[in-house]
Structure 1
Amino acid sequence: MSRETRDPVLEKARSHALAYLDGLARRHVGVTLGRDALLAQLRTPLPAQGEDAGSVIDLLASQAEGGITACSSPRYFGFVIGGTYPVALAADWLVSSWDQNAGIHAISPLSAIVEEVAAEWILELFDLPREASVGFVTGCQMAHFTCLAAARHGVLRRVGCDVEVEGLAGSPRVNLVVAAEAHVTIDVAMRYLGFGTRALLRVESDDQGRMRADKLRELVSTLEGPTIICAQTGNVNTGACDPLREIAAIAREAGAWLHVDCAFGLWARASKSLAALADGIELADSWATDAHKWLNVPYDSGLAIVRHSADHRAAMTSSAAYLIQTQGVDRDSVDWVPEFSRRARAIPVYATLRALGRLGVEDLIDRCCARARQMADLLAAEKGVQILNDVVLNQALVRFGDDDAMTHAVVAGVQKEGTCWLSGTTWHGRAAMRISVSNWATSEQDAEMSVAAIIKVYRGLQRA
């Protein structure tokens, strides 16, 4: 490709990208274009000859103005989605420019070495067993799939069965124990792995969504055979963390594999003031988390961490005569993840960790939690507003007028108003507004502006 063809379209994309980033702090956070408006601009017969590349980029950028939610806005509090640090975005641009298939070392030694070092840093940051293996996957859904595939292999190997050869049909039944409020991605991973969801044994949770260790002990005492227990650090609604030290002791006594869903809760381990929330998490056998949540790197960037690397490798690895693999001498990513072909997704993680350092990550986590507490405190001061959870991390549940209809209306009104964007949920049978603070750029002023907009919408609905 000549520079005359390449440079103008890349410069155009750069210009649009910078304009978008420059406007994030001021723009309407939600979408303003509906399906019909977007289809009117984007749906066309497939061109026979093709169109000018620069015009295509201009078209996409113009529709992004109203057709995407500004998830990187400092006032986006919807799902647990971080923004993107500039260094992470810059590294991701390089990843796309280099266009490496990071599946095996022979194709991209740089990608493999960066992944190896980033994995070491991740284990150090969270103080997890240094012998653990780390796979860089798309998100927490595939992190669960990967970790639970390793768990399936491990618990069945212990009873003399190779599930990778025999399949589930030829294997002993596995007991699958999950919390009553386990995230849906645990259920989906169990489906993907052939277990199904009917077999899941659910343990009662407390009023904050934490698994009750006493109920777990009662259940486990009735079970025989291979067992996988799935606990949680960072309930998706409340941010609450299971009593992991107690749960780990129960799992060890039963010879069970303990997996922890810590999509964002694991990051509490990076903060001295919050680490106690995840006490005992280091005793688990596997952990699933996301770097695109609280490390604020671009999608996709999930992390599958497994204490028992032999089980991890056995569940994931692939080989073929035409591939050049080093059999453990150098890191081949295909040994740790489901994909052959994949982006070099560890590079933005490496760049961000190196640019922030341990103290920078700690500051990021602490600031987000402080902003969540700030918003909860300001909202609680308004008559008729309830905070339904203990705000221990970055999550706050808010209810308006102790009324489902009013709460739904406030959520919809705030999304339409556009100062900030947040979502609704149902918590213990009651509607709630769910606030998640995960963006590195969210300031005290952003929190104040957002709360003022929320209260304005609420008061307007009361008068209506």
Structure 2
Amino acid sequence: MRVVVGADRHGSIDRAVRFLGIGRADIVVVPADDEGRMLPDQLEPALGESEEPLIVCLQAGEVHTGAFDDVAALIPIAHDRGAWVHVDGAFGLWAATSPRLRHLTAGMEAADSWATDAHKTLNVPYDCGMAIVRDPADSIAALRTGGDYLVYTGLDPWDVTPELSRRARGVPAWAALRSLGRAGVAELIERLHDNAVAMAEGLAQIDGIELLHEVGYTQVMFRMPSDEQTTALGAAILAEGTAVVTGAQWRGRAALRCAMSSWATSPADIERTLAAIRSLAAA
């Protein structure tokens, strides 16, 4: 079996491959563009001509740039070769709830499986990840177990998860969805996006700061002229305490990354953060 991934996939993909015992030698990497999106014209050559089973992992929301793979172009190429297509949508899959942003997910309904996190967007605790499989028969074939004392009633919990016993992880995610409703989730997603756009527009006005990508979703990544200045600015922002940004490496250079995910972040918080960064960058 071969697993075909983009050059800028999340590290959890490689980790999952190791858990499955497939091995690094069977990971095929497809080049990505400057935003971290898999290049559609490079996928077919990467799939090759062998008859080995294939899994193609696409991405909805690159962790640094927030960019979405062109799934509408990529999924047909993968399916033509008989590949299983999985979409890693840890935070990006939620764009589908927003009338303004759902174009980013156009075509994803054709995939075979999807994954997303509730903690990144619904603001529930960790341990509320979701794996979604198109056909329940695939989950049952992979996960159903037996036992004389197990009474099957249809689609049972142990049919779709590795554990036979587990706490009710889904309750916090269900509660958030039940509380917000469809319109509330859409409003939350759009507010996170608005915060990212405002942050990027403000950063672009600060001398010495360079934005590293188009802000299409909820991520903002930037740097200063040198790696040393970028690293120093990141440390200064953390020490100053108004906001938290994380350090990153992008295309071999140091960068700073803002991931908009908190329901509580307001436009005033963005302005306060920009004022702090403006002062620290000047210093």
Equivalent-residue separation in structure 2 for 1:345 and 1:176 (angstroms): 29
Q: Is the contact made by 1:205 and 1:212 (CA closer than 8 Å) also made in structure 2?
A: yes
The 5-angstrom pairing of residues 63-82 of structure 1 reads none
Question: Letter of the aligned partner of 1:442 in structure 2?
Answer: T
1:229 Cα deviation (Å)? 0.7
Q: Which residue of 1 aligns with 2:44?
A: 217
Change (3 A) 1:325 1:299: farther
Equivalent-residue separation in structure 2 for 1:421 and 1:325 (angstroms): 50
Equivalent-residue separation in structure 1 for 2:144 and 2:282 (angstroms): 57
Structure possessing the higher relative contact order (Cα contacts under 8 Å, 6 or more residues apart): 1
Give the helix-richer structure, 1 or 2: 1
Provide the secondary structure at the position in 2 that maps to 1:292. Answer: coil
Of 171, 191, 196, 1:367 maps to 191
- Show structure 2 runs of 5+ residues with no match: none
Equivalent-residue separation in structure 2 for 1:431 and 1:379 (angstroms): 17
1:256 aligns with 2:61: no
Question: Letter of the aligned partner of 2:65 in structure 1?
Answer: T
Q: Is the contact made by 1:387 and 1:399 (CA closer than 8 Å) also made in structure 2?
A: yes
Q: Is the contact made by 1:296 and 1:440 (CA closer than 8 Å) also made in structure 2?
A: yes
Q: Is the contact made by 2:66 and 2:219 (CA closer than 8 Å) also made in structure 1?
A: yes
Q: Is the contact made by 2:208 and 2:281 (CA closer than 8 Å) also made in structure 1?
A: no
Structure 1 ranges of 4+ moved more than 3 A: none
1:299 Cα deviation (Å)? 1.9
Q: Is the contact made by 2:29 and 2:46 (CA closer than 8 Å) also made in structure 1?
A: no
1:449 aligns with 2:275: no
Equivalent-residue separation in structure 2 for 1:241 and 1:223 (angstroms): 28
Q: Which residue of 2 aligns with 1:407?
A: 230
1:429 aligns with 2:252: yes
Provide the secondary structure at the position in 1 that maps to 2:184. Answer: helix
Equivalent-residue separation in structure 2 for 1:281 and 1:301 (angstroms): 21
Equivalent-residue separation in structure 2 for 1:417 and 1:375 (angstroms): 18
Q: Which residue of 2 aligns with 1:266?
A: 93
1:420-446 alpha-carbon deviations (Å, 9 max, x no partner): 111010111111100000011110001
Equivalent-residue separation in structure 2 for 1:221 and 1:182 (angstroms): 20
Equivalent-residue separation in structure 2 for 1:286 and 1:309 (angstroms): 11
1:212-252 alpha-carbon deviations (Å, 9 max, x no partner): 01000222243433111111110011000001011111012
Equivalent-residue separation in structure 1 for 2:48 and 2:271 (angstroms): 50
Equivalent-residue separation in structure 1 for 2:29 and 2:71 (angstroms): 16
Provide the secondary structure at the position in 2 that maps to 1:342. Answer: coil
The 5-angstrom pairing of residues 40-439 of structure 1 reads 174-322=1-149, 324-328=150-154, 331-400=155-224, 402-439=225-262
Q: How many pairs were matched up?
A: 283
Provide the secondary structure at the position in 1 that maps to 2:256. Answer: strand
Q: Is the contact made by 1:325 and 1:332 (CA closer than 8 Å) also made in structure 2?
A: no
1:345 Cα deviation (Å)? 1.5
- Show structure 1 runs of 5+ residues with no match: 1-173
Equivalent-residue separation in structure 1 for 2:222 and 2:49 (angstroms): 39
1:319 Cα deviation (Å)? 3.0
Provide the secondary structure at the position in 1 that maps to 2:119. Answer: helix
1:325 Cα deviation (Å)? 2.9
Equivalent-residue separation in structure 1 for 2:156 and 2:275 (angstroms): 51
What's the RMSD between the two structures over aligned residues? 1.2
1:296 Cα deviation (Å)? 1.5
Superposition TM-score, scaled by structure 1 size: 0.60
Q: Which residue of 2 aligns with 1:15?
A: none
1:450 Cα deviation (Å)? 1.1
Which has more radius of gyration? 1
Q: Is the contact made by 2:44 and 2:77 (CA closer than 8 Å) also made in structure 1?
A: yes
Equivalent-residue separation in structure 2 for 1:321 and 1:224 (angstroms): 39
1:327 Cα deviation (Å)? 4.2
1:185 Cα deviation (Å)? 0.3
Provide the secondary structure at the position in 2 that maps to 1:287. Answer: strand
Q: Is the contact made by 2:5 and 2:30 (CA closer than 8 Å) also made in structure 1?
A: yes
Identity of aligned residues (%): 46
